[in-house]
Structure 1
Amino acid sequence: MENNHDQKPHAVMFAYPLQGHVIPFVHLAMKLASKGFTITFINTLSIHHHVTKSQPHIAAKDNIFAGARESGLDIRYTTVSDGFPIGFDRSLNHDQYMEGLLHVLSAHVDEIVGKLVQHSDPPITCLIADTFFVWTSMIAEKYNLVNVSFWTEPVLVFTLYYHLDLLRKNGHFASQDNREDTIDYIPGVRAIQPKDLMSYLQATDDISTVVHRIIYKAFQDVKRADFIVCNTVQELESETISALQEKQPIYAIGPLFPAGLITKNIVPTSLWSELDCTHWLQTKPHGSVLYISFGSYAHVSKHDIVEIAYGLLSSGVNFIWVLRPDVVNSDEPDFLPVGFEDDVKGRGLIVTWCCQIDVISHPTVGGFLTHCGWNSILESIWCGVPLLCFPLLTDQFTNRKLVVDDWRIGLNLCDKKLITREEVAAKINRVMGGKSGDELRMNTKELRKILDNALNSTHGHGSSEKNLNQFIDDVKLKVREKLGVVTWETNGIPI
């Protein structure tokens, strides 16, 4: 046991195998490593395959953290099978894939963590896993590791899942006829409408889907975590964080960006090859380009794609539109109106994928039509770009509430259930120009100041910097407790 308490903390980190989760996990790994942690980062073989395939210039294909290691960070890297062959279409076979994550992945993770615990130097002392994993406490307890749950979405979303029992008890979830009145009984949440709950909590027909079962199990498991860290900012969600703090130690340490954000991240995380849009953007006037992306995971109906296309056509704005080949369906490649690309030639650029930060940080971009993924929202605030909100699933409906109703940095794309080309064109023009757009931009700049202040590292004054340092101190203390290392002072001498 000698000197165990003086060793560097060594954390195993495992992100949920979706790009929107991998990105903040990578940034957290870099941040902790820069503060003295040794990190062993685990990716699934599938995520690793897609990242390395999309980055042909990566020299060390076996380690996406090679650049981070060269810069002096002690980040090791390994991969694990998710139980499916590399060629298996996880998007097209979504439910089957999720069943595998629920039932099969834990055995693979258990095996690899067991090996790491046996052979790592310094010894593994901590497990940092995505909140959506259902096995974290089991593995942490088995190997006597500090159990850290990392939440990659807003704390508002976390606390709604955390209090599923209250939603169920009050008839707002899991009843044949869910109540539609205001929800005002969740600790730390003043009021929220049922339409602003996450998509899985709005379901009335089937609440036993594989995703529901993952949510139920994950939010039972997270109540056994030693610590919860969140990619959010204390000042943006203070009441909600304070209410949760009474139940478990929780730390708001966001936004988790690479240093300076605009500097190129040295760790690749993209699952697709990125087209460089810089040259095209430079040909457009300042603030004139609308960026459109529905993220790396969600699907959109062909009807909605067509209405957005016609709305863009009549709006007259310049735009970059990210359209993944599988955005409608993995086996339906032709979804744009016939002749659309010819009609918008010169003012519209359609790409299968690009580096989002490079685009929205460019001065010619004046708006972002988004699915309301949390990473996209934080990046937009940082870049001062107002949002046009088109949530598609999961947390995105709740994120929309924060953006449009609470912070007033965006508009709803369609206020009615059915999207129409006329409303799309009108909303695009409101965000891109006029009084409405100016107000959104002003509010976005105010939020950017809050993010700036939170990340202020001068004397650890920023709330996120302060919370991160406190988290690190608390983890080190917990490690010593678990190792049975107790220190006290007699005449000023540690024993």
Structure 2
Amino acid sequence: MAKAHILVLPFPAQGHVTPLMELSHRLVDHGFEVTFVNTEAHHALVVGALQAAGGTSALAGIHLASISDGVEDDEDRKDISKLVDTYARHMPGHLERLVAEMEAAGRPKVKWLVSDVYAWWSLNVAKRLGIRVASFWPGSAACLAINLKIPKLTEEGLLNNKGWPERDETFQLAPGIPPLHTSQLPWNNVGAPEGQPIIFELFIRTDRLSALAEMVVCNSFHEAEAGAFKLLPHVLPIGPLSSDREFRKPVGQLLPEDTRCLRWLDAQPDGSVVYVAFGSFTVFDPCQFQELALGLELTGRPFLWVVRPNFTTGELSKAWFDEFLARVAGKGMVVSWCPQQQVLAHRAVACFVSHCGWNSTMEGVRNGLPFLCWPYFADQYLDRNYVTDVWRTGLAVSPDADGIVTKEELRSKVEQVVGDAEIKERARVFKDAARRCISEGGSSCENFNRFVNLLSE
């Protein structure tokens, strides 16, 4: 008998699409029928990247579907507060219509919705349609714990009722959870301040997952966040997630991957390459971009640097960048996007200069890599504090008085991270712990089996 038809719904951002696509592959492997629902804009990007890589056949049973997010084509989808406001109002009706259209076309009735917690509005849609709900949390368990403690933090006077800090201090929810300064709360570091009320409301609404979801799973593992899971006994870690061990199954990239970098890595010595990538949202001004470039050159080490088309604001001199590329030719490689999981698993990579998005953090941890942390926004400061203060598997860059991470700072920190035997050893220990968790009998493996059993009911 065929297993249930499951609708999988991510929040529209690369860091949310990737882990839910990985989870979808795992569900297909267990016999479920999966329909993966992106916004129309992201659906077009995912399909375009798949076509560039040779087609959609590698999805191996995942059906792709799309609904409108309500954002006009000429509006900025990088404005997260506008996106959150618009899509929460427009997408519920579109999701209902999609379900009806699928059933009218003869597809099996949708039995389960596996929804990103940040797509909280979809839980109400599922309830109306008689669809059972499980939720997926895409970030660290520590971030979820902080979100769920917002009422308590407000009651204690640390926050006002609009989410802004009342005190300038570092706090810690519980032992094992990273300390966090009140200036770096996840909801206060996403876009312009005027959009903060919408973002804060999104974070507050995460409490709805407990009321409406039958199970909550997340892309983490017990040893990484034992302190947070003590506070969240109802949240089951099933990570670190991956689509398959050989990295053959696509993870929903929004940009085409430049796989030439894998051949370039093959030609580099073991443990020599500095890998530099800042995810899909980070933006640098031209001054910081140039300091980063010069800092990589100063290290004298081979480097692989991901530079998205929209990575800088303002005008970066093309002539300057062309001269830089000519100087580092043979020593460094710059790509617009890459198959990051394969890169991080490559024997040549020595360390990961990262924005500390949670997916990237889990991917680096799973491969035993030391980190140089350079957070940009949202929960990335909390993730950095895991790396530097709790796990102690890396260091963080320190901006100067003008907020710039100088080339000398980057060179110095890269050398410290690569040369620290204790950091390397702790990173190796974490790699082993992560792999034990996802192996047969490990805690993440057992939790995933519980999840599959629930979806099979």
TM-score (norm 2): 0.89
* Mapped partners of 1:332, 1:54: distance in 2: 27
2:451 to 471, 474, 479: 471
* Mapped partners of 1:307, 1:51: distance in 2: 32
Partner residue in 1 for 2:69: 82
Partner residue in 1 for 2:432: 449
Do structure 1's residue 113 and structure 2's residue 104 form an aligned pair? Answer: no
Q: Per-residue CA shift, 1:226-256, capped at 9, x if unaligned?
A: 21110110222123223222xxx32111111
* Mapped partners of 2:408, 2:330: distance in 1: 22
Alignment of 1:149-168 (within 5 A): 149-168=135-154
Partner residue in 2 for 1:367: 351
Question: 1:95 Cα shift?
Answer: 4.1
What is the DSSP-based 3-state SS (H/G/I as helix, E as strand, rest coil) of the residue aligned with 1:148?
strand
Indicate if the aligned counterparts of 1:309 and 1:336 stay in contact, CA closer than 8 A. no
* Mapped partners of 1:212, 1:133: distance in 2: 14
Indicate if the aligned counterparts of 1:306 and 1:335 stay in contact, CA closer than 8 A. no
Partner residue in 1 for 2:247: 264
Partner residue in 2 for 1:485: none
1:252 to 234, 237, 240: 237
Q: What code does the residue aligned with 1:399 have?
A: D
Question: 1:36 Cα shift?
Answer: 2.8
* Mapped partners of 1:183, 1:207: distance in 2: 25
**Greater CA drift, 99-108 or 367-376:** 99-108
What is the DSSP-based 3-state SS (H/G/I as helix, E as strand, rest coil) of the residue aligned with 1:56?
helix
Structure 1 residues 291 and 106, CA gap change in structure 2 (3 angstroms): same
Alignment of 1:60-459 (within 5 A): 64=56, 66-69=57-60, 73=61, 75-84=62-71, 89-91=76-78, 93-116=79-102, 122-174=108-160, 178-184=166-172, 186=173, 192-194=179-181, 197-201=184-188, 208-220=196-208, 223-245=211-233, 249-260=234-245, 263-267=246-250, 269-275=252-258, 276-329=260-313, 332=315, 334=317, 337=320, 339-414=323-398, 418-432=404-418, 434=419, 436=420, 438-457=421-440
Structure 1 residues 368 and 335, CA gap change in structure 2 (3 angstroms): farther
Instruction: Give the gaps of 5 or more residues in structure 2.
Output: none
Structure 1 residues 423 and 208, CA gap change in structure 2 (3 angstroms): closer
Alignment of 1:17-36 (within 5 A): 17-36=12-31
Partner residue in 1 for 2:41: 46
What is the DSSP-based 3-state SS (H/G/I as helix, E as strand, rest coil) of the residue aligned with 1:235?
helix
Partner residue in 2 for 1:462: 442
Q: What code does the residue aligned with 1:293 have?
A: A
What is the DSSP-based 3-state SS (H/G/I as helix, E as strand, rest coil) of the residue aligned with 2:98?
helix
Structure 1 residues 279 and 468, CA gap change in structure 2 (3 angstroms): closer
What is the DSSP-based 3-state SS (H/G/I as helix, E as strand, rest coil) of the residue aligned with 2:232?
helix
* Mapped partners of 2:165, 2:107: distance in 1: 55
* Mapped partners of 1:301, 1:172: distance in 2: 33
Question: 1:391 Cα shift?
Answer: 0.3
* Mapped partners of 1:418, 1:171: distance in 2: 33
* Mapped partners of 1:336, 1:95: distance in 2: 35
Partner residue in 2 for 1:484: none
Question: 1:293 Cα shift?
Answer: 0.7
* Mapped partners of 1:176, 1:451: distance in 2: 35
Structure 1 residues 190 and 13, CA gap change in structure 2 (3 angstroms): closer
Q: Per-residue CA shift, 1:422-457, capped at 9, x if unaligned?
A: 21110011122x3x1x22221111111111111112
Question: 1:418 Cα shift?
Answer: 4.0
Structure 1 residues 221 and 466, CA gap change in structure 2 (3 angstroms): closer
Structure 1 residues 180 and 135, CA gap change in structure 2 (3 angstroms): same
**Greater CA drift, 374-383 or 77-86:** 77-86
* Mapped partners of 1:196, 1:59: distance in 2: 45
What is the DSSP-based 3-state SS (H/G/I as helix, E as strand, rest coil) of the residue aligned with 1:42?
strand
What is the DSSP-based 3-state SS (H/G/I as helix, E as strand, rest coil) of the residue aligned with 2:289?
helix
- Percent identity between matched residues is 26
Structure 1 residues 468 and 341, CA gap change in structure 2 (3 angstroms): same
* Mapped partners of 1:336, 1:281: distance in 2: 27
Question: 1:379 Cα shift?
Answer: 1.4
Q: Per-residue CA shift, 1:296-318, capped at 9, x if unaligned?
A: 12222333222222222322221
Q: What code does the residue aligned with 2:325 have?
A: E
Q: What code does the residue aligned with 1:180 have?
A: D
Structure 1 residues 112 and 183, CA gap change in structure 2 (3 angstroms): same
Question: 1:363 Cα shift?
Answer: 1.8
* Mapped partners of 2:137, 2:195: distance in 1: 23
Structure 1 residues 363 and 208, CA gap change in structure 2 (3 angstroms): closer
Q: Per-residue CA shift, 1:169-217, capped at 9, x if unaligned?
A: 2233337652233424x46765623258544246996574432232233
What is the DSSP-based 3-state SS (H/G/I as helix, E as strand, rest coil) of the residue aligned with 2:130?
coil
* Mapped partners of 1:160, 1:137: distance in 2: 22
Indicate if the aligned counterparts of 2:176 and 2:390 stay in contact, CA closer than 8 A. no
Q: Per-residue CA shift, 1:313-365, capped at 9, x if unaligned?
A: 32222111111111123x64548955322332221212211111232222221
* Mapped partners of 1:190, 1:214: distance in 2: 22
Q: What code does the residue aligned with 1:210 have?
A: I
Q: What code does the residue aligned with 1:67 have?
A: A
Indicate if the aligned counterparts of 2:169 and 2:182 stay in contact, CA closer than 8 A. no
Bigger relative contact order, structure 1 or 2 (CA pairs below 8 A, ≥6 apart): 2
* Mapped partners of 1:219, 1:473: distance in 2: 25
How many residue pairs are counted as aligned between the two chains? 450
Structure 1 residues 177 and 281, CA gap change in structure 2 (3 angstroms): closer
Larger Rg: 1
Partner residue in 2 for 1:480: none
